[in-house]
Amino acid sequence: MATIAPPSSRVAPAVTWDVQEGVAVVVLDLTGQPVNVISRAVKDEFLACFAALADDSRVQTVAFFSGKPENFIAGADIEEFVQLESAAEAERLSAGGQEMLDRVARFSKPIAVGIHGACLGGGFEFALACHYRVATDHPKTQIGLPEVQLGILPGAGGCQRLPRLAGARAALDMILAGKSERAAKAFRLGMVDELVPQPILREVTIAAAKRMAGGWRPKRKRPGGFIGFLLDGNPLGRRIVFRTARKQVLERTGGHFPAPLAALEAVEYGLKHGIDEGLKREAQLFGQLAVTDVSRKLVQIFFATNQLKKDPGVANAPPPVRVQRLGIVGSGFMGSGIAGTAVVQAEVDVRMKDADVARVAQGILAARAILDDRLKRRRITKYEYARLVALLSGGDNYAGFGRAELTIEAVFEDLGVKQQVLREIEPVLPSDGVFASNTSTIPITRIAEAAQAPERVIGMHFFSPVAKMPLLEVIPGARTEPQTVSTAVAFGRRMGKTVIVVRDSPGFWVNRILAPYGNEIGHLLAEGASIEEIDSLAVRFGFPVGPVTLLDEVGLDVAVKVAGVMQEAYGDHIIPPSNGAGVAALVKAGRLGRKSGRGFYIYKGGKKRGVDPSVYELLGVHPNGGPRPAEILQRLVLPMVNEAARAVGEGVVHNPRDGDIGAIFGFGFPPFRGGPLRYADDLGAERIVTDLERLAERHGARFAPADLLREQAHDGTKFYA
Ligand code: 3HC
Ligand code: NAI
């Protein structure tokens, strides 16, 4: 077996190969690393390997594989971007990658690549430069260009090669959203040439390499038929495609994320001016993007999320109990969402219980809708669907709960009801079974007072809709034991959630920092601001929806309940306006938000249709211009930052990283700002304290700066060292 002498920093070479019957079988395997990435060092090995293969007269053709059992190549090494100091340096990095892949594309001997597992970013760009792509049909085989999610663009030729292979529309779809696709879809889109079961990947790839050595070349026709020809195949059609794509990007990003627009430009420029010019433009744009603050923030989020995946959430915890059977009490909105998501993501047996069989049946149907959606979007096959549906069952009693390692309750938000459920179920559960509550406001320690074994009671606060919201707050009570925490954290992760462990305190983390934000709406409306203005200013700041729309989404009845708890707990600074009737008046009038078709806004056919003007009357307020836009925005955002600081000071989250990830994944704090705590660091505590003091002077104690911010302002410290 041939190898390249590794750079001194690595113990073993990453690229090795074997020559048999004219085929060089090349394997990339970064020893000691969980995934293959393309770093500068790996690039050097690649180049040396291909130089050796070019000179080796025994080699007629090449078959390339990953040595990792579950990953192909995860892309370029993101750690290297963090160290880039200038746009010029980043441009050189991109151009270097392009040059290497250009050599691959022009290599004198054909190269077939066998893909199993994640084939992303630079990994896919490498595959695109090869001459034939075989992929396994395994669900782990995900193919995509996620660069824009890191604030950059595919900078190793991806913006040039993919549109040429699969057409501009399919390429833009993938590049601009940073999407990954299962191999079957990539195959349908013409991005891979052959789809095979994993056991025959090697054989089929080597066979393709041999066929190419004999002069055979794949005949590819542009996917998409006549429409494909009209839109992708001629400049006029492409103009329409680009115009539409640009409009969609602006709608989706509000102009806050420069990467998708730059990627669009790189694709368009390349198709207009040819691949060489396109590559140059791509590298330039990559260089500019890689050193933007937005990209730095998005990369920080990537690493923070990865760290969280490995964080057991508690010190010195015994390994988690592996959950195979999940019990759910309360098969309403949240219970069914948790059930469906648990089945789809963790493939566990789920047993549901509600007051009567009719409600359970409804819950099972709602859980099944999550599976239906996956099937419709071809995320699962018919066979997987049939297998997963069979995992859902339920009844009006606790039969089956005796074998559930974890039970989650999602009954009404009432301490008495939750404690009653706990008393009933504890004798039924296995002796080491964990009981988790999905309460949004009740202290876990209070619920656990009804337990014989409070050490196995915990909070698992999911967000709605459960299938879509990526965050889970895990809340240990005063007596919860570490293994209960690690079990809840591990199961939350298996459900695909990013999990933060949060102290048992009113509002936990997410609702806590949302409380002053929501509360300020009442004050602003009372001072004459309009609903649309409040929402549009928040959207312009980068929130996915404005705070008033958020209330409608959460449900005004739920919001009123949470607000009541928060005002009780933090009455010194969560102070509602004294004039105006408040949101309770809307609830009384049957306006519960989106779910009832009417809240602050009117909803028809599932779509938001504008503000219901009679809302102002019900609230007893009159829009008349209100405070200046800059003040409105400041009064929405700074109290949230202030509350986040206060909660950090109280140890509600373990560290600023968890706090920022919680805010970004819990309610969409603008990711390009890095989260409320990073944002605070960027503004500087001194400035925040000055602004809050000014607001407090004008509007009262609710704006008084948190002690921690005052300390930071005084000492010149930050949340992140
Ligand atoms: N660069 C550097 N490190 C990477 C990496 C990358 N591209 N991809 C993964 N890693 C690291 C992770 O940080 C983690 O490190 P740690 O163990 O020290 O914390 C480790 O590899 C394992 O990663 P995961 O825990 O995420 O492993 P999973 O099996 O859950 O997921 C994955 C694997 C789907 C490949 C996922 O890691 C992933 O999505 N990676 C990022 C993919 C990506 O964004 N690629 C584009 C890179 S940019 C690029 O290619 C630019 C080019 O166009 C020039
Ligand atoms: P829901 O009203 O849709 O569902 C509650 C279900 O519990 C109903 O089906 C009811 O019949 C059942 N139930 C009540 N008492 C029961 C008992 N003793 N035994 C068995 N079943 C019983 O309510 P939803 O919205 O699903 O909320 C459930 C829990 O989740 C609450 O604690 C709520 O605070 C929490 N939560 C709600 C969120 C939301 O957005 N709706 C978000 C996060 C948490």
Distance from C-alpha of 129 to C-alpha of 143, rounded to nearest angstrom: 14
CATH number (3.90.226.10, 2.60.40.10, 1.10.10.1590, 3.40.50.2000) of 15-291 reads 3.90.226.10
Query: Considering only CA atoms, which of 325, 331, 494, 463 is closest in space to residue 409?
Result: 331
Å from CA of 418 to ligand 2 middle: 10
Distance from C-alpha of 38 to C-alpha of 44, rounded to nearest angstrom: 10
User: What tokens does 665 get?
Assistant: 């994944």
325-501 architecture in CATH? 3-Layer(aba) Sandwich (3.40)
The whole-number average pLDDT for the span 98-103 is 96
Ligand 1 and 78: CB distance under 6 A: yes
Range 510-715 has CATH code 1.10.1040.50: yes
Ligand 1 and 37: CB distance under 6 A: yes
Q: Which ligand places an atom closest to the C-alpha of 259? A: 1
pLDDT-derived band at 502, boundaries 50, 70, 90: very high
Q: How far is CA 699 from the centre of its chain?
A: 37
Dihedral of alpha carbons 89, 91, 95, 101, sign: positive
pLDDT-derived band at 82, boundaries 50, 70, 90: confident
Per-residue pLDDT at 2 exceeds 80: no
**Whose Cα sits closest to atom 9 in ligand 2?**
332
Q: Which ligand places an atom closest to the C-alpha of 289? A: 1
CA angle 44, 45, 49 (to 5 degrees): 120
Q: Which long-range contacts (CB under 8 A, 24 or more apart) does 240-247 make?
A: 241/168, 241/169, 241/172, 242/168, 242/172, 242/267, 242/268, 245/172, 245/176
pLDDT digits (tens, 9 = 90+) for 414-435: 999 999 999 999 999 999 999 9
- For the chain, the average pLDDT equals 94
Task: Name every residue whose Cβ is closer than 8 Å to that of residue 228 and which is 6 or more positions away in sequence.
Answer: 167, 169, 222
Distance from C-alpha of 84 to C-alpha of 305, rounded to nearest angstrom: 21
DSSP bridge pairs for 329: 353, 409
Distance from C-alpha of 435 to C-alpha of 411, rounded to nearest angstrom: 13
Classify burial at 57, counting beta carbons within 10 Å of its beta carbon; exposed 0-12, middle 13-18, buried 19 or more. exposed
Helices (H) then strands (E): counts for the chain: 30, 21
Bond before 656 cis per omega within 30 degrees: no
User: What tokens does 419 get?
Assistant: 């404690």
Alpha helices in 130-234 (DSSP H): 158-166, 168-177, 183-188, 201-213, 225-232
- Side chain identity at residue 288, one-letter code: Q
Å from CA of 74 to ligand 1 middle: 5
pLDDT at 81: 86
Indicate the angle between helix axes 656-667 and 629-649, nearest 10 degrees: 130
Task: Name every residue whose Cβ is closer than 8 Å to that of residue 337 and which is 6 or more positions away in sequence.
Answer: 366, 367, 370, 462, 464, 465, 466, 467
Per DSSP bridges, beta strands 61-66 and 23-28 are parallel
Å from CA of 138 to ligand 1 middle: 19
The whole-number average pLDDT for the span 580-595 is 88
The whole-number average pLDDT for the span 98-121 is 97
Ligand 1 and 75: CB distance under 6 A: yes
**510-715 matches 15-291 in CATH topology:** no
User: What tokens does 56 get?
Assistant: 């080796």
Å from CA of 139 to ligand 1 middle: 17
128 and 136 in contact (C-beta within 8 Å)? no
- Side chain identity at residue 576, one-letter code: P
Distance from C-alpha of 152 to C-alpha of 296, rounded to nearest angstrom: 10
713 and 689 in contact (C-beta within 8 Å)? yes
**Taking the CB of residue 12, how many other CB atoms lie within 10 A of it?**
11
pLDDT-derived band at 9, boundaries 50, 70, 90: very low
- The number of the ligand 1 atom at minimal distance from the alpha carbon of 153 is 53
Query: Considering only CA atoms, which of 409, 569, 439 is closest in space to residue 502?
Result: 439
User: What tokens does 365 get?
Assistant: 């149907």
Of these residues, 45, 473, 520, 533, which one is catalytic?
A: 473
Distance from C-alpha of 230 to C-alpha of 455, rounded to nearest angstrom: 65
465 and 496 in contact (C-beta within 8 Å)? no
pLDDT digits (tens, 9 = 90+) for 183-213: 999 999 999 999 999 999 999 999 999 999 9
Per-residue pLDDT at 232 exceeds 90: no
560 and 585 in contact (C-beta within 8 Å)? no
pLDDT digits (tens, 9 = 90+) for 342-395: 999 999 999 999 999 999 999 999 999 999 999 998 888 899 999 999 999 999
Strands in 165-300 per DSSP E? 180-182, 194-196
pLDDT digits (tens, 9 = 90+) for 515-564: 999 999 999 999 999 999 999 999 999 999 999 999 999 999 999 999 99
The whole-number average pLDDT for the span 675-682 is 98
Q: Which ligand places an atom closest to the C-alpha of 565? A: 2
The whole-number average pLDDT for the span 245-260 is 94
Å from CA of 340 to ligand 2 middle: 15
**Candidate of 28, 30, 31, 35 to mutate for ligand 1, largest count of ligand atoms within 8 Å of Cβ:** 35
Distance from C-alpha of 372 to C-alpha of 365, rounded to nearest angstrom: 10
Query: Considering only CA atoms, which of 349, 361, 353 is closest in space to residue 387?
Result: 349
Per-residue pLDDT at 409 exceeds 50: yes
Query: Considering the chain, what percentage of its residues have pLDDT values greater than 70?
Result: 98
Q: How far is CA 21 from the centre of its chain?
A: 46
Query: Considering only CA atoms, which of 303, 355, 314 is closest in space to residue 331?
Result: 355
Distance from C-alpha of 177 to C-alpha of 172, rounded to nearest angstrom: 8
pLDDT at 286: 98
**Candidate of 120, 180, 285, 286 to mutate for ligand 1, largest count of ligand atoms within 8 Å of Cβ:** 120
DSSP bridge pairs for 182: 142
pLDDT at 8: 43
Per DSSP bridges, beta strands 23-28 and 15-20 are antiparallel
pLDDT at 612: 87
Q: How far is CA 606 from the centre of its chain?
A: 24
Domain ranges in the chain are 15-291, 325-501, 510-715
Ligand 1 and 287: CB distance under 6 A: no
pLDDT digits (tens, 9 = 90+) for 119-170: 999 999 999 999 999 999 998 999 999 999 999 999 999 999 999 999 999 9
| Residue 473 annotated to the active site | yes
Per DSSP bridges, beta strands 71-73 and 471-476 are unpaired
Q: What is the largest CA-CA distance in the chain?
A: 87
Q: Which ligand places an atom closest to the C-alpha of 37? A: 1
Ligand 1 and 147: CB distance under 6 A: yes
